[in-house]
Structure 1
Amino acid sequence: MRDLIIEKMYEWSKKPYQKFFKKNDPWNVTAKELIQYPQESLGFHMGCFLLKYNFEMQPKLEDHDVIHVLTNTGVSVVEEIGMQYYLWGNGKKSAYLYMVISIGTLFYPTRLKTFTNYYNRGKAAHHFHHLAFEKMLHLPIQTIQTSFNIK
């Protein structure tokens, strides 16, 4: 039931977040185009991620999926909350991030140790949450992960 509530909250908040808070332009690429990138590239791995979960690119929210790919984070509700903890540890600050962390912690207090582990992983990585990932799609994913100490 908690997962369903969190998922509904995300669905309700996604459109206003895209419209009012995300100022970047949407990427002009599809999952099928991404899997045409070299197999070691971020673009290829991003395309595989989207196809694996049967996701479509969400305009202006593409970076979110890139973070999933780079940090090897799944898409369950707890993992989504954990990824926000990771980003917080990595230095990201936003009202949306704080809202997800707050609500997630309230709904999943027994997962605080898991969330703390995500936070510490993000803190150990070099700041990367602000990068222009669309321009990095051709780069080898391993190079990006190593360069930014992403684990």
Structure 2
Amino acid sequence: MITLSIKEKTYEIRMLREQLVEFLKIYLAIKPLQFFYRTKSENIKNELEKSQKGTIGYDLNKLLDNNKLKVIPKFENHDLKHIILGYGMTSVEEIKMQAYLFGNGNKNIFCIIFFASGLIFPEEWNSFYKEYKKGKKSVYIHDLSFKETIMKQTEKLKTTYNTV
């Protein structure tokens, strides 16, 4: 009989919670959007591949490729925020970004659902609250558009919006 230490059990439970958040993200948001916007996805990817180094388009293409992800139509603005704000693509990083965005004034249903999924990570509540407060103090980013920024310099936008 194999027994696990408390540390190993804690790790396994955390992994299950992360898988739950990933499942919700994939099946409540990503898959439906990919299904309904298949053609648009190819057009966006072509546009990204033509982008010059140092631009949002280039960096978004690199982010997606590095994480083995496809463009998700209607989520370009969301991915743009990952780049500008510097949040990773893990479940906890996603929740941190949603906490920031909620604090920054984003009250759409996706933001609320994913921010609320942070409840299953009590060990991260302080970090989520810290990101929420950071968002409250920061320049409003919700209306920033991928289409308007695709050719803009990434570092300039990071400086403008990630000031706290």
TM-score per shorter chain, which class? 0.7 to 0.9
Q: 2:75 aligns with which of 61, 66, 81?
A: 61
Query: Unaligned 5+ residue runs, structure 2?
Result: 1-15, 35-39
| 1:147 counterpart letter in structure 2 | T
C-alpha displacement at 1:33, in angstroms? 4.1
**Inter-CA distance 27–60: structure 2 relative to 1 (3 Å threshold):** farther
After superposition, the C-alpha distances for 1:75-134 in whole angstroms (9 at most, x for unaligned) are: 1111111110011111111122222222222x0011011112221222232101212221
The corresponding residue for 2:84 is 70
Identity of counterpart residues, as a percentage?
26
Question: Equivalent residue for 2:26?
Answer: 11
Partner of 2:4: none
Shift of 1:5: 1.5
Q: Is the 8 A contact 1:87 1:119 kept in 2?
A: yes
Unaligned runs of 5+ residues in structure 1 are 20-24
Change in 2 beyond 3 A, CA 1:150/1:64: farther
**Rg (Cα) greater in structure:** 2
How many residues matched? 144
User: What displacement does 1:12 show?
Assistant: 2.4
**Residue of structure 2 equivalent to 1:92:** 106
For residues 80 and 54 of structure 1, do their structure 2 counterparts lie closer, same or farther at Cα, with a shift above 3 Å needed? same
Structure 1 CA distance for aligned equivalents of residues 143 and 118 of structure 2 = 23
Alpha-carbon spacing, 1:44–1:14, altered in 2? closer, same or farther (3 Å) = same
Alignment counterpart, residue 44 of structure 2, candidates 13, 29, 32: 29
CA RMSD of aligned residues (A): 2.3
CA distance in 1, matches of 2:42, 2:160: 24
Query: What residue is the counterpart of 1:145 in the other structure?
Result: 158
Are the equivalent residues in 1 in contact too, given 2:56–2:153 (CA < 8 A)?
yes
**Alignment match, 2:94:** 80
